[in-house]
Amino acid sequence: MDVVPPPDPGSPRVRFGAEMRRLREAAELSQAAVAARLGCTQTQISRLEKATRTPSRSDAERLDRLFESAGNVSFTRLYQSLVAQSRNPVWFHDWAEEIEPTALILRSWDPLLVPGLLQTESYARYLFGQAPQITSDEIEERVQARLRRQRILQQEKPPLLLALIDAGVLRRKVSRAEVMHEQLGHLLEVIRMPTVSIQIVDPECLTGLMGAFTIAELPDGQPDAIHAESSAEGQMTADLDSVTATWKRYEAIRLWAYPEHISLKMIEDVRQEWT
């Protein structure tokens, strides 16, 4: 399998980690000591310094308080540069850059569209092109960001992706018939990957009509996180009540899902309709 390339050495995320390590060592603090003061784990500190974890705004603010702008370094400004450079929406930044690539299991539900991680380039480009007043450059940036996200399915240790998709999605025309034929063909390819499972959900399931969401099961005993989508923006949280409610909804939807071998046949049949 292809391995996800290392972070760009000139990126704000790499500089954030390098400055963090420099100031920590200058203050003669261990990673464990910084973790204790920031209220996180040593593993998280290590990943920030190695630029394999995207810092959050709270990380930046707490580091500024800890080091008191030593050496004229502002972690908040570095964080703002990092967000400005990202081609994902601000609210999606931490999820796409930090949660998805490190998750053990991603459980997703989508009542309207093929999930982003499983979309073809043509399907994604048409969807992004429907946004009001969007420019061709913005469309291309979003398409490329989506394709980069999908690399996690090819990394050395990919997450297990368990996708529930409403049956209506297979017949919801996105662009031309050829695009739909290609998209469903792509689903037939990825469903054969040992780390991807796709189940089609009976359209009579009304529990899922509240919207799409993803539950991420994370390593090192970290709490589950959820990402819930809406027409304007998404919400990412690890709040126990929200996660528990989403888990219950996921299980209720899953009761309406067809077994994978039947789902595979459904996709194959509908794909022929798009010829």
pLDDT tens digits for 262-273?
A: 999 999 999 999
CA distances from 218 to 10, 14, 160, 246, 255 (A): 28, 23, 11, 16, 24
Distance CA 219, CA 199 (A): 25
Residue 88: which pLDDT band, with cuts at 50, 70 and 90? low
Same domain flag for 208 and 195: yes
Model pLDDT for residues 129-178, shown as the tens digit of each residue: 998 988 998 899 889 889 988 999 998 889 999 999 999 999 999 999 99
pTM for the structure as a whole: 0.69
Same domain flag for 26 and 112: no
Distance CA 67, CA 232 (A): 37
Same domain flag for 80 and 215: no
Model pLDDT for residues 48-58, shown as the tens digit of each residue: 888 877 777 77
Same domain flag for 161 and 32: no
Q: Which domain holds residue 75?
A: 12-85
Residue 5, in any domain of the structure: no
Per the model's pLDDT, the better-predicted residue between 153 and 12 turns out to be 153
What's the pLDDT score for residue 221?
79
Same domain flag for 47 and 98: no
Same domain flag for 99 and 79: no
CATH number for the domain harbouring residue 30? 1.10.260.40
Same domain flag for 68 and 139: no
Same domain flag for 75 and 198: no
In 3D space, the residue among 202, 192, 189 whose CA is nearest the CA of residue 271 turns out to be 189
Instruction: Give the total number of structural domains in the chain.
Output: 2
In 3D space, the residue among 269, 260, 271 whose CA is nearest the CA of residue 200 turns out to be 260
